[in-house]
Structure 1
Amino acid sequence: MAIFFPSKEMLLVLTFSFSLIRFGSSLSLYDYDIEINNGSFYLPLVTKCTANGKPVGAMTIKPRSSQGFKCPWLVGKRSLATCDMSLGNFRGRFDLFDSNRDLKRCNGKFCSWFINEGGLFLRIDGLNVLQYRWP
Structure 2
Amino acid sequence: MDGTALKVFFILATAQIVFFSSPAIAKYDVVIVNFLGENMTLNLHCQSKDDDLGVHDLPYTDVFEWRFDVNIWRTTLFYCDMGSGDLKGRFDIFVAKRDLNRCGNDKCIWHVMRDGLYLYLKSADNYVHQFDWPK
Q: Do they fold alike, i.e. is TM over 0.5?
A: yes
User: What is the identity, as a one-letter code, of the residue corresponding to 1:80?
Assistant: L
Task: Check conservation: 1:52, 1:71, Cα contact below 8 A.
Answer: no
Task: Check conservation: 1:73, 1:99, Cα contact below 8 A.
Answer: yes
Is it true that 1:132 corresponds to 2:128 in the alignment? no
Counterpart position of 1:76: 73
Instruction: Name the Cα RMSD after superposition.
Output: 2.2
User: What is the identity, as a one-letter code, of the residue corresponding to 1:63?
Assistant: Y
User: What is the identity, as a one-letter code, of the residue corresponding to 1:41?
Assistant: G
Is it true that 1:117 corresponds to 2:125 in the alignment? no
Counterparts of 1:97 and 1:78, CA distance in 2: 10
Is it true that 1:38 corresponds to 2:24 in the alignment? no
User: Where does the alignment leave 5 or more consecutive residues of structure 1 unmatched?
Assistant: 1-8, 21-26
User: Where does the alignment leave 5 or more consecutive residues of structure 2 unmatched?
Assistant: 1-12
Deviations for 1:87-132, whole angstroms, at most 9, x for unmatched residues?
A: 2211010011101111111121100000011100001133111100
Counterpart position of 2:90: 93
User: What is the identity, as a one-letter code, of the residue corresponding to 1:131?
Assistant: Q
User: What is the identity, as a one-letter code, of the residue corresponding to 1:31?
Assistant: K
Q: Which structure would you say has the larger Rg?
A: 2
Residue from 55, 59, 62 that aligns with 2:56: 59
Q: Secondary structure at the match of 1:129?
A: strand
Counterparts of 1:103 and 1:85, CA distance in 2: 23
User: What is the identity, as a one-letter code, of the residue corresponding to 2:133?
Assistant: W
**TM-score normalised according to structure 1 size:** 0.77
Counterparts of 2:74 and 2:119, CA distance in 1: 23
Q: Secondary structure at the match of 1:107?
A: coil
